[in-house]
Amino acid sequence: MYGKNAWEKYDEAQLKEVMDLAEDYKKFITDAKIEREVVVESVKALEEAGYKPFAYGTKYAAGDKVYFVNKKKNVVAFKIGTAPITKGLRVLGAHIDSPRLDVKQNPLYESSNICFLDTHYYGGIKKYQWTATPLAIHGVVCKKDGTCVNVAIGEDDNDPIVGINELLIHLSATQLQKPGSNVVEGEDLDLTMGSRPTKKGEKDSVKETVLAILKEKYGMEEEDFLSAELEVVPAGKARDFGLDRSMVAGYGHDDKCCAYSSLRALLDIDETPEYTSCVALVDKEEVGSNGASGAHSRFFENCIAELVEATGEPLSRLKDALSNSYMLSSDVSACYDPLYAYTMETRNACYIGNGVVFNKYTGARGKSGCNDANAEMIGWIRRVMDDANVNFQTAELGKVDQGGGGTIAYILGNLNMNVIDAGMGVLNMHAPMEVISKADFYEAYKAYQAFLTAKF
Ligand code: MN
Ligand code: MN
């Protein structure tokens, strides 16, 4: 159903499904805030559903369930279909990184009785949104001896939180004259870590206190920051949003709402599909998808190559497996917000509650950098959505020349797959607290299932 509010169609039983699915999702994004954690939680869910790590030398056949993990930050899962893999796959691809602050390699310093931790922001953020708000530190510290320890500070109710200082309004006359982009400067996004000296009258004694705590809790020395990946994210749980509990507020909906609904869509399908189903969860989208764990990595193509061989097809036909594939680039879209109506064009915007949203193209300055989905594919998608009674809508990313952005769609398009962006509208996108509709989440989940199982 095109352009209709999904809430209006639910009966009691469906309403319960919508709310229950949102509960599962809230738990997921509370437990998995960074890409490494998403991979851990995803593998747990895959294993529970009977998926096994790919084993070279094993022959795979219809109904087999297999997954690949790449560098602990990228996971790809497949359910082998009844048709040869060279007939193409049905791929759901989402990214599992979100905008945040990364801790620098040499981050710790003390100034005026305060110990600070220096950061470098990751992805597109409004820097002023990150001050005076509860923050947590997630990640890993790897030591010279090869051991790694996971770090999570600020999530347990008994944990302290950290945060970034904000200038009091009383002294903000100069600051508030600055343009929004540098009201808070990137180099000033330093976390306050402590203020209690260990020893009387000694230099950097507050820093010593903080280092002693890190040593006790994680066995780390100051130099171990060199080989750490610590990500600063908003502290706390995902929560229901709105008095009617119709929405979820949380950190990192972009793009964990699509990652989780895609994964669940795959796991919840009982039948063996005709075309091999695939869910690819990738890292680094917010910084251009480069590097080994990003969508540009050869890893994804290599996984498919492995399966072409392992299902008894000639590797020389890998190109058919790719060219015949259909993919939904599961990523979020800018939800129409009446408070910022001047940024949107109302006939080509997505509205909260109207279901899964398809972006034929994204890009900026004349669609530059976009994947532009084929009309033929969209015609088929419309039929698949209507046959499955899924509420869907179409959108552009705001008004022409208002800004723009991209997703991983073009990267898989470059492998010659048929790709379209499909996700859900987000309010406050890229802010520390993002908001999505539970109905949109449910419709996306249903859309992904319909896509994986639909005939041509
Ligand atoms: Mn984003
Ligand atoms: Mn995204």
From the CA of 332, which ligand is nearest?
Answer: 2
Q: In this model, does residue 201 exceed pLDDT 90?
A: no
* SS3 at position 374: coil
pLDDT of 134 reads 98
From the CA of 423, which ligand is nearest?
Answer: 2
Reading the block at residue 125, the tokens are: 């953020």
- Whether residue 404 contacts residue 319, with contact meaning beta carbons closer than 8 Å, is answered with no
* Per-residue pLDDT band at 7 (split at 50, 70, 90): very high
Q: Are strands 356-359 and 392-394 parallel, antiparallel or unpaired?
A: parallel
pTM: 0.97
Compute the distance between CA of residue 237 and CA of residue 64 in angstroms, rounded to an integer: 35
Q: Nearest 5°: CA angle at 304, between 298 and 310?
A: 135
From the CA of 99, which ligand is nearest?
Answer: 1
pLDDT of 268 reads 98
Q: In this model, does residue 420 exceed pLDDT 90?
A: yes
pLDDT of 108 reads 98
From the CA of 123, which ligand is nearest?
Answer: 1
Mean pLDDT across the stretch 431-450?
98
Q: How far is the CA of 258 from the centre of ligand 2 (A)?
A: 9
Q: How far is the CA of 423 from the centre of ligand 2 (A)?
A: 9
Q: How far is the CA of 365 from the centre of ligand 2 (A)?
A: 19
Cα end-to-end span (Å), the chain: 19
pLDDT of 451 reads 98
* Per-residue pLDDT band at 94 (split at 50, 70, 90): very high
- Type and span of the H or E element at 150: strand 148-153
- Whether residue 361 contacts residue 371, with contact meaning beta carbons closer than 8 Å, is answered with yes
pLDDT of 38 reads 98
- Whether residue 103 contacts residue 119, with contact meaning beta carbons closer than 8 Å, is answered with yes
From the CA of 295, which ligand is nearest?
Answer: 2
Q: In this model, does residue 254 exceed pLDDT 90?
A: yes
pLDDT tens-digit readout, 215-232: 999 999 999 999 999 999
Q: How far is the CA of 397 from the centre of ligand 2 (A)?
A: 12
Q: In this model, does residue 287 exceed pLDDT 90?
A: yes
Q: In this model, does residue 43 exceed pLDDT 90?
A: yes
Q: How far is the CA of 35 from the centre of ligand 1 (A)?
A: 14
Return the beta strands (E) in 325-450 as ranges.
326-329, 333-334, 356-359, 363-364, 392-394, 404-405, 418-423, 425-426, 434-437
Q: How far is the CA of 435 from the centre of ligand 1 (A)?
A: 13
Instruction: For tokens 């954690």, name the residue.
Output: 37
Q: In this model, does residue 446 exceed pLDDT 90?
A: yes
Q: How far is the CA of 182 from the centre of ligand 1 (A)?
A: 20
From the list 123, 118, 86, the residue with the least C-alpha distance to 105 is 118
From the CA of 257, which ligand is nearest?
Answer: 2
pLDDT tens-digit readout, 58-69: 999 999 999 999
From the CA of 93, which ligand is nearest?
Answer: 2
DSSP H helices, 32-94, are 35-48
Q: How far is the CA of 286 from the centre of ligand 1 (A)?
A: 5
Q: How far is the CA of 409 from the centre of ligand 2 (A)?
A: 11
Q: How far is the CA of 360 from the centre of ligand 1 (A)?
A: 17
Q: Percent of the chain having pLDDT more than 90?
A: 98
pLDDT of 392 reads 98
pLDDT of 20 reads 98
pLDDT of 211 reads 98
Residue 437: phi, psi to the nearest 5? -90, 140
CA atoms within 13 A on the CB side of 356: 34
pLDDT tens-digit readout, 115-146: 999 999 999 999 999 999 999 999 999 999 99
Q: In this model, does residue 345 exceed pLDDT 90?
A: yes
From the CA of 256, which ligand is nearest?
Answer: 2
* Per-residue pLDDT band at 298 (split at 50, 70, 90): very high
Q: Which distant-in-sequence residues (6+ apart) come within 8 Å of 277 by Cβ? A: 78, 79, 81, 89, 90, 92, 266, 269, 452
pLDDT tens-digit readout, 169-185: 999 999 999 999 999 99
From the CA of 329, which ligand is nearest?
Answer: 2
Q: How far is the CA of 249 from the centre of ligand 1 (A)?
A: 16
From the list 267, 399, 394, the residue with the least C-alpha distance to 333 is 394
User: CB count, 10 Å around CB of 171?
Assistant: 8
Q: Percent of the chain having pLDDT more than 70?
A: 100
85 sits in the region (left: phi over 0; alpha: psi -120 to 50; else beta) called alpha
Mean pLDDT across the stretch 379-391?
98
The amino acid that residue 110 corresponds to is E
Q: How far is the CA of 217 from the centre of ligand 2 (A)?
A: 34
Mean pLDDT across the stretch 59-87?
98
Q: Tell me whether residue 145 is exposed, middle or buried, using C-beta atoms within 10 angstroms of its C-beta: 0 to 12, 13 to 18, 19 or more.
A: exposed
Q: How far is the CA of 107 from the centre of ligand 2 (A)?
A: 28
Helical packing angle, 438-453 and 253-267, nearest 10°? 50
From the list 311, 289, 312, the residue with the least C-alpha distance to 300 is 289
